A = this chain, B = another copy of it.
Amino acid sequence: MKKLINHPENVVREELEGIALAHADLIKVHFDPNFIYRADAPRAGKVAIVSGGGSGHEPMHGGFVGYGMLDAACPGAVFTSPTPDQMLEAAKTVHGGNGVLFIVKNYTGDVMNFEMAADLAMAEGIEVQSVVIDDDVAVENSLYTAGRRGVGTTVLAEKICGAAAEAGYSLSQLAHLCRKVNGWGRSMGMALTSCTVPHVGKPTFDLPEDQMEIGIGIHGEPGRSRLPLKTADEIVEMLMGPILSDLPFKAGDEVLLFVNSMGGTPLIELYIAYRQAHRLAVQHGLKVVRNLIGPYITSLEMAGCSITLLKMDDELTRFWDAPVRTPALRWG
């Protein structure tokens, strides 16, 4: 296992120490239980947004904490759900008096623990609503999921809902918006290589030198099919087809096109993939009005990419464009 780490058991703690040192202007880190939260929390009157999930998907979610996005993020161990006590403490820390929205990726452990945390928070008088993201069109059920997995749309939902929260949306308005984003987003991913969980020490799966996995999950869960390696243009077509037909996206729709690196795939390849994805979107009659390209929801050092297409309207575009200041997304 070739990694820039110290002891495998200390990976998340040391990562959080690094984040705390690096971004003290934006965020603070609470240890035991672990969560990252906005340096200026709680923001009185604003609905707070809390997300979380296993580590190993950086910058998601900790890199999205800050003005215009998340109020707190709860990192579990690598590829392991965070626990209810993390979520409860995070919610209590950032609650500004107007309730808390939990944005939850659809993995059984995440959903169960966020539900438990919501119950505990409500018992302490904090109003909570949860929205589960399940945008992955690859498979109906998977290793860690009943129903579709939550992937790339999560990043977009956190940005858009974060801006809406700054603009004064109520908790029920925010939950409604988050469900709309989830309903309008579709994703699919693929892997060229596996990744290695530090405390496991060997690759999650074996993928021969001439094979790829289409429909991979962000923890290396099996996808739709294992196939001989193809060209970037063919691969992107295999991802875009199921995405385009699922919503379905219709000619004339405005979309945000998000081409994501699984971690080990460099930008030079992402732009080659983006070129084809954009071309196919246009061929389908879509208008690509916004995009995002880079490593935002990763699987450690896995090589591969995922594509997310989000149908946009004026509300979503306005909140996408709104200012954001987090370690990983920053503009305006």
- Residues of chain A touching chain B, judged by Cβ–Cβ distance below 8 Å, are 2-7, 11, 14-19, 21-22, 55-56, 58-59, 63, 78, 192-193, 209, 212, 229, 231-233, 235, 263-275, 278-279, 288, 291, 293, 295, 298, 300-301, 303-305, 327, 330-331
A59 — which chain B residues lie within 8 A by C-beta? 267
Q: Is the CB of B266 within 8 A of A264?
A: yes
Give the distance in Å from the alpha carbon of A40 to the alpha carbon of B97 in the complex: 46
Q: Which of B267, B268, B303 contacts A11 (CB 8 A)?
A: B268
Q: Which of B55, B272, B291 contacts A5 (CB 8 A)?
A: B272
Pick the most buried of A192, A231, A271: most chain B CB atoms within 10 A of its CB: A271
- A-B pairs, top 9 by smallest CB distance, nearest first, are A18-B271, A18-B275, A58-B267, A4-B269, A18-B274, A2-B192, A15-B271, A6-B231, A21-B278
Give the distance in Å from the alpha carbon of A274 to the alpha carbon of B23 in the complex: 11
Q: Is the CB of A2 within 8 A of B231?
A: no
14 sampled A-B residue pairs with Cβ under 8 A: A2-B209, A4-B269, A4-B270, A4-B273, A11-B268, A14-B232, A15-B271, A21-B288, A22-B278, A22-B293, A63-B267, A265-B301, A266-B300, A268-B300
A78 — which chain B residues lie within 8 A by C-beta? 268
Q: Is the CB of B6 within 8 A of A233?
A: yes
Q: Separation in Å of the A44 CB from the closest CB of chain B?
A: 27
A303 — which chain B residues lie within 8 A by C-beta? 2, 4, 264, 301
- Minimal Cβ-Cβ distance residue in B for A12: B268
Give the distance in Å from the alpha carbon of A301 to the alpha carbon of B265 in the complex: 6
Q: Is the CB of B19 within 8 A of A271?
A: yes
A209 — which chain B residues lie within 8 A by C-beta? 2
- Minimal Cβ-Cβ distance residue in B for A235: B4
- Minimal Cβ-Cβ distance residue in B for A7: B231
- Minimal Cβ-Cβ distance residue in B for A282: B21
Give the distance in Å from the alpha carbon of A233 to the alpha carbon of B56 in the complex: 20
- Minimal Cβ-Cβ distance residue in B for A271: B18
A58 — which chain B residues lie within 8 A by C-beta? 266-268, 271
Q: Is the CB of B267 within 8 A of A6?
A: no
Q: Is the CB of B301 within 8 A of A5?
A: no
Query: A4-B235, A192-B2, A274-B22 are known contacts. Are A268 and B331 too (CB-CB below 8 A)?
Result: no
